[in-house]
Structure 1
Amino acid sequence: MSGVKLEVQWCPSDPNKFITWGTELYLYEVQNLNNVSAPWIKLSPTTGANLLATNSNHQYVKCVDIYPQQGSDILLAIGQANGKVVLTTFGPSKFDALGISGKDFVPRHARQCNSVLWNPIDSNLIVAGLNKDRSDYSILLWDVMKCPFANENSSSRLNSGAHHHHVTPTMEFSRPIMEIGMAEAAMSLSWFRTQPRTMVAGMNMKQLKIFDLRDPSKIVSTTMTKAVYGCVVDPNDDRQIASFVDNQICVWDLRNFDKPVLTSTQSKYVHKILWCPTRKNLLSSLQRDNSLIHLHDIQHVVIGNDDVEQAMLERSIVPGVSHNLTSYSWHPTDENRLLTIAMSGVISDYTVFERITLNWAPSPNLVWTHGKKTFKLINNPDFVFNSIGDISVKIRTRSLKDYGLKTELWKNAELADDPMLKSLWDWLYLSRCLVEEGSLKGTGSKHPGVKSILKSDASNQNNNSTCDVIPWTDVGNANCVVKVYRSEERDKALYLCGWRFDKDFNYLKLFLERLELDNTFSKAATIAVFNLKIRLGIDILNRGAEKTNNQNLSMVAMALSGFSDERNSLWRQFCHTSLKNLNDPYLRAMFAFLTADESYDLVLNESGVAVEDRVAFACIYLSDSKLSEYLKQLTVSLTEEGNLAGLLLTGTTSEGLNVLQKYLDRTGDVQSVSLIAIRAFPATLLKELSVQEWITSYRNLLDAWHLWNQRALFDIELNSGNLTEKPPQQVYVSCNYCGKSISAYMQAINRGRGPFARLGSSTNKLKLSSCPNCRKPLPRCAICLMHMGTASSCLEHLSRNEDDSKMVEYSSWFTWCQLCRHGGHAAHMTNWFRDHAECPVTACSCKCFSVDSC
Structure 2
Amino acid sequence: SSYPAFGVRYSRPCNVVAFSEAEPRLLATGLDKVRNDHCLAIWDVEQARSMAESSSLASDQSAGQPGAGSGKGDAGAEATGLLRSSSTGSSTANQAASAPKPIQQYGMSEAVLSCAWFPQMPAQLVAGMAHKWLRVYDTRSSDPPSVTISTKAVYGVQVDPFHDKRMASFTEDGIVRIWDVRKPAEAVLNIQAATRSASLETLLYSPRRSGLLATHGKDSPYIRLWDLQEGTTRHYTSTTILPRPPSGEPIDIPVLWRSRQTKPALRPLASFAWIPTNPGRATSSLMSVNRDGVIECVELQEARRTAWDPSGGLLVAGDQDIFVFPTSIMSNDASTIGAQKLGATESRNNRQAIKAKAMEELRADISVVMRERAVHGYSMNAEKNRALIRDDRQLTQVWAWLATEEQLSSMGRLVSQGVDFSYQGVLHIVQGGWLAPKRSTSTPQTTSPMLITRTETPDSSATGTAIEAKGEEAPMAPTLKPELRTIALLALGFGGRIESTMESLQASGDYERAAAWALFHGKVGRAVAALSSSKDEKHRLISTVLAGYHRDASTTNTWRELCKSLSADLKGPYLRAIFAYIASGEWSSVLAIGDLPFRDRLGVALRFLDDEEV
Q: Please identify the structure whose Cα radius of gyration is greater.
A: 1
Normalising by structure 2, we get a TM-score of 0.42
TM-score of the pair, normalised by structure 1: 0.31
